[in-house]
Amino acid sequence: MNELWFVIIIFTCSLAGGLLGALGGLGGGVVIVPVLTIFFHVDIHYAIGASLVSVIATSSGAAAAYVREGFSNIRVGMFLEVATTTGALLGAWLTTVAPTQVIAVIFGAVLLYSAYGALKTQHEVITEHPDPLAMKLKLKGTFPAGDGEEKSYVAQRVPAGFGIMWLAGLLSGLLGLGAGAVKVIAMDQAMKLPFKVSTTTSNFMIGVTAAASAGLYLRAGYLAPGLVMPVMLGVLTGSLIGSRLLVRAHVGTLKVVFALLVIAMGVEMIVKGVTGI
């Protein structure tokens, strides 16, 4: 395979990854890293480095559109980033002492169960008897519900959501993941935010987390321009397309896309833990 065909194929795969990542709120890494390592035999460090840059592109491309459309809740995202950042710092330290293979298997199993829960769980947007802490922190907002209608929502069970976000950051630092799946689960299932708000806010958040990690990979020399460029451009294009589709997509369809991506990520983590790759 010559270089031109390699770039075209990588761009196409990255476009698909960016599209799915924007719809599911997970970033394109869940698709890109397995494709690069399994089918193109790219070293895992370079694959993760390209994935991190692509996640920043996804967040930059999709999050801007979601904010403009009124879906992302920046206040909720920045509040929860406190938890993910502190968790990630601890996770980075634990990489030197913890058996990451065992944790990867456990994480994969949790993701598989979460995918099942995402498909089965339906919850109403709660505005009556709101969480007092959410009201104090102003963790509320509105989102377009179609036909020009705006629906209000208020976050629920803020401590539970904050704790799960801390776990997401811990796993991110420990396993080198964006942990977007855990972030969506925290906002959708724990904090009872509307699903579109959860996925769009997750897209905003993962870019902040990935930016810090990408700096470490750049310093270590794991960002190869010939690989990063087609991945980044593909993911950015896919994320912009995905952001347009999400605005019109049915929530049930988004939940199916999210569940399939989480299943793929869960299987990947279990295989990674069992084989030690």
pTM comes to 0.71
- Domain chopping of the chain, boundaries: 3-275
Specify which residues 154 forms β-bridges with.
140
Mean pLDDT throughout 34-43? 80
Q: Are the C-beta atoms of residues 231 and 50 closer than 8 Å to each other? A: yes
Q: Are the C-beta atoms of residues 210 and 54 closer than 8 Å to each other? A: no
CA dihedral 5, 10, 11, 15 (to 10 degrees): 140
CA angle 38, 42, 44 (to 5 degrees): 85
pLDDT tens-digit series, residues 189-231: 888 888 888 888 887 787 776 776 677 778 888 889 889 999 9
The secondary structure of the chain in percent helix, strand, coil, rounded to multiples of 5, reads 75, 5, 20
Residues 6+ apart with CB under 8 A from 186: 80, 160, 161, 164, 165, 168
pLDDT band of residue 4 (cuts 50, 70, 90) is confident
Structure tokens at 80: 């929860």
Specify which residues 149 forms β-bridges with.
146
Kindly report the average pLDDT of the chain as a whole number: 78
Give CA–CA dist 28/12, Å, rounded. 12
Specify which residues 152 forms β-bridges with.
142
In this predicted structure, what is the pLDDT of residue 12? 92
pLDDT tens-digit series, residues 68-95: 778 888 899 889 988 888 887 787 677 6
